[in-house]
A = this chain, B = another copy of it.
């Protein structure tokens, strides 16, 4: 495989000149420029990116941290990130963490040691104090409201959207409303819990701890929720489900258990995934692909920015 030296020899110029045309610098005569192009064509030259990386300290690689790659939520996010990466000639390095802190730190370390240019954290597990140790090594962008933290972010206002959905349900006459959430830690979960409490207070509704269902991440988790509900003396009449996957699971399981939706239980999902459309689930649309695209853009910028995306209620037939 030809290298820059070979090209220089073939084109009868110096290595520097080759490097200049390679990087589109001005101040190269048209004649030499063409000679270099010719030589590159003939020898099917291609830069050795490893050398470029070592020399420049840049890798054109962006790390993406996510818990699982096989979850539609992250799939959509990744789709948006990947789309933009292709456009900008960046490649993505995947860090599948399974929510293990060490995995996330591995990614952070790669940033620290210049193995990637920036890091996109789709779902954070490390504390801010840990992450702050890595500020300055390169952009780290998040998919949550980073508040005062010195990191870019693209996010939705989970407090607001949760309230919107909750009041929508209440306006339809529901008084016993519960919700399903993925993790009980995490900023997003905290915000939603707060929104829930504030809603209850405002509407003067009692707080039922058993109306909160945790560990609702995957389709299968919906079954669990349904089985818990069927065993309740006073089950909720409506459920806010923070993932369309789980909402779909609940819908399917309800069907199997002859529980009618929305008569016996109303459901609002989140994300507006294809599955919610197919199954007619009312949902809060989160523009995940667009968020992904924006996350990528922020990761290749040196300044910090915050971008809030809107959530839209999509009415279908489960409320």
Q: Which residues of A contact B (CB under 8 A)?
A: 1, 46-51, 53-54, 57, 59, 61, 68-72, 75-76, 78-79, 82-83, 86, 91-96, 103, 109-110, 112-115, 218-220, 222-223, 248-249, 252-253, 255-256, 274-275, 277-280
Copies of this protein, total: 2
Interfacial chain B residues near A256, Cβ < 8 Å: 280
Complex: A215 Cα to B219 Cα, angstroms: 25
| Sample of 17 A–B contacts (CB below 8 Å) | A48-B114, A49-B113, A50-B114, A50-B115, A53-B54, A70-B76, A70-B78, A70-B79, A72-B75, A78-B94, A92-B93, A92-B94, A218-B274, A219-B278, A220-B274, A252-B278, A275-B275
Closest partner residue, chain B, to A68 (CB atom): B79
Verify A46–B103 contact, CB threshold 8 A: no
Distance in angstroms between the alpha carbons of A222 and B278 in the assembled complex: 9
Complex: how many Å from CA A72 to CA B109?
A: 30
Point out the residues of chain B lying under 8 angstroms from A255, CB to CB: 255
Complex: how many Å from CA A249 to CA B273? 13
B residues in contact with A110, CB < 8 Å: 91
* Known pairs A46-B109, A68-B79, A248-B275 / 11 extra A-B pairs, C-beta < 8 Å: A50-B54, A50-B57, A53-B53, A69-B75, A70-B72, A70-B76, A71-B75, A91-B93, A93-B93, A93-B94, A219-B275
